Structures are given as structure tokens and as C-alpha cells.
Amino acid sequence: MKIVIIDYGAGNIKSIQFAFKRLGYDAILSNNPEEIKAADKVIFPGVGEASSAMQMLKESTLDALIPTLTQPVLGICLGMQLLCKATEEGNTTGLGIFDVQVKRFENTVKVPQMGWNTISDLKSDLFKGIKNQEFMYLVHSYYAENCNEAIATTNYGLAYASALQKDNFYGVQFHPEKSSIAGEEILKNFLNL
Amino acid sequence: MLTKRIIPCLDIKDGRTVKGINFKGLRDAGDPVELAKQYALKGADELVFLDISATLEGRKTMLDMVLKVAEHVNIPFTVGGGISSIADVDALLKCGADKVSVNSSAIKRPELINELANKFGSQCVTVAIDAKQINEDWIVHVAGGSIPTKLDLFSWAKEAEKRGAGEILFTSMNNDGTKDGFANDALAKLSRELNIPIIASGGAGNIQHFVDAFQKGNADAALAASVFHFAEIEIKDLKQDLKANKIAVRL
């Protein structure tokens, strides 16, 4: 199986590569459109600030490529948020796969949310064998609103979409590569989609 | 519900884990990669690696160790010690660190916090503050806690938040190494005045101290070293007791 992690200069991608290695798979880091198109599975990572990440995507023309992909694509953290319609962070227009807005947490909670929280209302094969209320590691100041495309929700001041799916596109707000054994199970499930 | 985090801290010198008692008299507590793997299995929520030699001797945190930890450990970790530039952070994140913590270098040049937050996002910028209560005032110290500054803990923490820090790691030098409990009053004040997560550090001796740090100090996370390194407290027991005290934990 050919796994490509999109390398557009945003954040900690080594950890995702290592997580696949622990599962026994070699994932390739690439920003080459042909290589990404030819992959069986594509990981769209992202850590950092939305508008500068989107700028980097545009500079490498990957913003046009990603929505045309037909194999399973998994957006992680900011990667998931960039697959949404728009985000309040830097007033950034997203790739528009998921029909949902990304908003900043209100100051009634500490921002960023940082740490382990539970995922509920699990609705996809991505979560096969994962128990309701499993703990995942999250670090984020912006969240996708709960919506029809939500396949998991998390509570932090309010219930929001901590995972999304539309067709072959999946997105998770949490970091499966940093979420212990359960997180690795989710990555394994993604490879089996 | 977001849970309170338990964070073993691995002080690193020459690639080995050490724990300074009141920042002096170092004891060797093992290989960092092995310890990190053990802690992930035992239920630690996160790990912090502090290169304690870095600030004092200008030594950079070893990227090799970070790479090895990232390869073998499936929980998040923060790296601190001697970080003073975007290039330092870029190298650490590329090796697989999730967050970095800055201390003296941010005091010397506070704009560093803005630069790091803008470039990498607040979520990976921890500002570590060592402070000592002298009379009624909490005075920030630098260089491994050896040099006092003119800064007040609370105003510096607030400035760090404003500049883009994602969390504060507060070590009370009065409590560190004493095993008499965390500085709960100062923690509670930090938690009240700031809207980013606060990590309690310095003073853990028994399980009740952690209960107090969360209930009285309102800390979001608690960090300790020797009580974990020498198995005086098992993380599973600690978390079970926290849960019995109605504190949300990952079990």
C-alpha cells in the first residue's frame, strides 16, 4: 500500500510518518502532485496558522489538487479545518469539501483546548472497534461546528464536530498519531477503508 | 470532558535523564527513550524533556534524542532548554516534537514568543517560568533558576499569553525538590488571570499534592519528575485517586 503524507511545510509530519512505521507501513512525505495522485491513501496534515498554511498550499498548487483526489484522504487537525468551507482564523477560505464553518472557541473556556478529551457519536468505519467516549489528544483554538457531516463529536464548552466525512474525504480534529493505542487503531482503520 | 494531564518531566543532561533537587545535586534516572516508552504505557498524558544543561552552558537540545522519542512514543511531548530562535524550533518540530518550551530566551527577547506563535501556532509554544516567592512577591528567575530578574510572575505570564503563548509551565522554586506540594495559591491566581492552560510544576511528593494542584490550584496539568522516575507514585494509582476525587482524568 502506498501512503503519502502531503508535505507542504506545515507542522509536525514526522510524528505521523513514525506512527505508520509503528504500524508496519512506510509512508512517504511528498508535495509532488503525481505522487499524491498515485497514492492509495493520502494524509493531509497541518499544524500552525490557517491563512499561512493555505498560502503554502496555494504556492505549491496543492489547493487545486486536493479536492480532485478520489482515494481516501485523511485531514488531521489543521488539515481537517482547511478541508472545511472557511475558518475564522485569519479569515481563511478553505477547500470547501466539508460544508461547515470553523470558529474560535469562546473565552468561557481556556483557549487553546489542550489535552485528552473524549469522542462520541461515532458514525464511520474509521472508528471500527473504537469505544464510544474513547480519549483522543487535541490541541486547537478553532473548531468545526457540529453538522450533518460530523462522524464524531467532542464537548469543550459546546459540542463540536471532532471528525467529519464526505465521500472519500475524512477529517479528524484530534491527533491519532499522538493518541496512544486507540489513535493507532484509527490510523489502521483508515488504511483499511 | 477535557481531562487534567499528568506529565512526567525528564530533565536531560548529556542524553541522560536527571532530576535536580532544588536545581542542584543531580541524580541519574535512566535512558530518556526507554523512560518515555514506559511512561506512555503507564498512562502518562504527555511528556516534557528539558535540557537543563542547555541554558547554563549554551548547549542545544539533542535532536537525535527527540527523533528517537518521536519514533517510539505515541503520546505528545514538549522539548525545552536553550531554544532561542525560529530555526531551533523548526528543527525540533521537524524531528517530531509537538511543542517547545521557552524560558530565559523569551525573557531576554519577548518578541521571540510572537515570532514562534506566528510561525508555528500558539498551540506549540509553551512558556516556562521559574519563579521564587520572596516576601509577598513572586520573582521570575532565569538560567536554570539561578539569576533573579525584575519580572513579576503574574505580569510576565500575562504578557506571554498576550504575545501568543499556548500554555504556561510554572515552576515554583520554593516548592521544587521539597516534596511538600505545589504552589497552589500562585497557581490559582495564574489560572484566574490567564485564559490559557497552566501546568503546575515543583513540589510533588504524594498523591494528595496532585489533588490539591487541581482542586485548589485549578491547574490544567501537573508535572513531576522524581516521584515518577523512582516509582514513588505510580501514574495508574494516581489517576485512580484523582478520579475518586471527582477530577477528570484519562484512565
Read off the pLDDT of residues B203-247 as tens digits, 9 standing for 90 and up. Answer: 999 999 999 999 999 999 999 988 988 788 999 999 999 999 999
Burial A77-116 (b: 16+ CB within 10 A, else e): bbbbbbbbebbebeebebbebbebbbbebeeeebbbbbbb
pLDDT at B28: 44
Give chain B's mean pLDDT: 89
Supply A61's cell numbers. 498548487
pLDDT at B30: 64
Q: Is B75 on the interface with A (CB under 8 A)?
A: yes
Longest dimension (CA), chain A: 45
Q: How far is CA B129 from CA A188, B133, B168, in A?
A: 40, 13, 7
How many domains does chain A divide into?
Answer: 1
Q: State the CATH class of domain B5-244.
A: alpha beta
Q: What is the C-alpha separation between B233 and B210, in angstroms, rounded?
A: 11
- What pLDDT, on the 0 to 100 scale, is given for residue B82? 84
Beta-bridged to residue B221, according to DSSP, are B5, B199
Does the beta-carbon distance from A47 to B3 stay under 8 Å?
no
Judged against a pLDDT cut of 90, whether residue B177 lies above it is answered with no
**What tens digit of pLDDT does each residue of B54-63 get?**
544 435 556 8
Of residues B64 and A145, the one with the higher pLDDT is: A145
ipTM of the complex model: 0.93
Question: Does the pLDDT at position B21 exceed 50?
Answer: no
Q: What number is the average pLDDT over the span A72-97? A: 96
Structural domain that includes position A162 = 3-191
Q: Where are the domains of chain B?
A: 5-244
- CA-nearest of B184, B177, B230, B229 to B204 is B177
Q: Any CB–CB contact under 8 A between B167 and chain A?
A: yes
pLDDT digits (tens, 9 = 90+) for A91-150: 999 999 999 999 999 999 999 999 999 999 999 999 999 999 999 999 999 999 999 999
Residue-wise pLDDT tens digits, B25-41: 334 446 788 888 889 99
Q: Which pLDDT does position A66 carry in this prediction?
A: 98
- Does residue B218 sit at the A interface (CB-CB below 8 Å)? no
Considering A134, A140, A175, A185, which one is annotated as catalytic?
A175
A115 and chain B: CB distance < 8 Å anywhere?
yes
Mean residue pLDDT of chain A comes to: 95
**pLDDT over 60 (residue B75):** yes
pLDDT at B20 over 50: no
Q: How confident is the model at residue B19 (pLDDT cuts 50, 70, 90)?
A: low
Give B78 to chain A, closest Cα distance, Å: 12
What pLDDT is stored for residue A11 in this prediction? 65
How far apart CA B200 and CA B5 sit, in angstroms, is 10
Interchain contact, B76 vs A175, CB within 8 Å? yes
Q: What is the pLDDT of residue B156?
A: 98
Q: Would you state the pLDDT for residue A108?
A: 94
pLDDT digits (tens, 9 = 90+) for B179-202: 999 999 999 999 999 999 999 999
How confident is the model over B45-73, as a mean pLDDT?
Answer: 77
Find the DSSP H helices in chain B.
32-42, 52-57, 63-72, 86-94, 104-108, 111-120, 153-163, 184-193, 207-215, 226-229, 235-244
Note whether B166 contacts A139, CB cutoff 8 Å.
yes
Kindly give the pairing relationship between strand B16-21 and strand B24-28: antiparallel
Contacts of A181 in chain B (CB under 8 A): 74
Pick from B80-84, B159-163, B167-171: least confident: B80-84
Residue percentage of chain B with pLDDT more than 90 = 70
Residue B137 burial (CB < 10 Å; 0-12/13-18/19+)?
exposed
What pLDDT is recorded for position B218? Answer: 98
What value does the mean pLDDT take over residues B51-56?
Answer: 61
DSSP H helical ranges for B194-234: 207-215, 226-229
Distance (Å, whole) CA B248 – CA B251: 9
Q: Which CATH number goes with the domain that contains A54?
A: 3.40.50.880
Contact at CB, B74 and A113, closer than 8 angstroms = no
Model confidence band, residue A10 (pLDDT cutoffs 50, 70, 90): low
